[in-house]
Amino acid sequence: MSTVAFITARGLFGRRRALLLLPLPILLVGLALLCRMYDVSPDMWGQAVIVALGLAVVLPVVALIVGTGVLGSEVDDGTIVHILTKPLARRDIILAKYAVAASVTTVVSAVPLFLTGVLAGSARLGGALAVAATVGAFAYSALFLLFSLVSRRPVLVGLVYILVWEGLLGNFVSGTKNLAIGQYVIAITDKIAPNGMMDTPVSLTTAIVMSAIFTVAGTVFAINRLGSFSLAGETS
């Protein structure tokens, strides 16, 4: 299992895909730093930078890039066959790749969000953002890893989820917020560090329970899906 994780991490950072992880976090911290340098009140930029950019874009997009990258390319180019011939349980393969995806997403998103919170003048807010981002990273990673196994266009499916389900419908259809990982992240952040920037009808209990459900269900379904792959690289 550790070997699979090592190979996955090495492959992920050895591809151009890894370069896609840097621009958004750099932009997030850079904007916050500029606002801090020019003494702009966090009340004026917090909603746009921290919530609209950090939580609604940086976190899910980073998770999408990583989550679909740890396995999706292997499914597309057929190298998944070589993995399946190894004496490894399908469960161990998925868990190793999920661990890499969740860990990388956590580091790449939680660290810049923490720095952004600190630049907004509150270490507590920074800590809350880091904790919430970690929870969101685990939930998003499980979902996007599953997408890479059930669709030939996992990035497109993931973007539809982020932009349409969480972004568009989430703003106009209240019921969808209870099934949106982004709303769980906002709810957790606001509970740890109450502020005027976070606005969600989702309770902390719902956020924690649903995040756990997304994480466990996504991983279990991914394991079952990989189990349906034959050595020909097709599903049975």
Within-domain flag for 233: no
- Helix or strand (DSSP H, E) at 209: helix 204-227
Query: Rounded to two decimals, what is the model's pTM?
Result: 0.90
Within-domain flag for 111: yes
Within-domain flag for 87: yes
Residues 218 and 161 sit within 8 Å (Cβ to Cβ) = no
Write out the chain's pLDDT in tens, 236 residues.
Answer: 566 777 677 767 765 666 788 999 999 999 999 999 999 999 999 999 999 999 999 999 999 999 998 886 666 555 566 666 666 787 888 999 999 999 999 999 999 999 999 999 899 999 999 999 999 999 999 999 999 888 889 999 999 999 999 998 887 787 889 999 999 999 999 999 998 888 889 999 999 999 999 999 999 999 998 877 654 444 54
Within-domain flag for 86: yes
Within-domain flag for 236: no
Within-domain flag for 232: no
Within-domain flag for 208: yes
Within-domain flag for 234: no
What is d(CA 162, CA 80) in angstroms, rounded to the nearest whole number?
27
Domain residue limits at 45: 2-227
CA angle, residues 206, 143, 107, in degrees to nearest 5: 85
Domain count, the chain: 1
Give exposure, 167-204, as e/b (b: 16+ Cβ within 10 Å): bebbeeeeebbebbbbbbbbbbbbbbbebebbebebee
**Closest by Cα among 126, 127, 133 to 182:** 133
Phi/psi for 22 (5° steps) reads: -85, -40
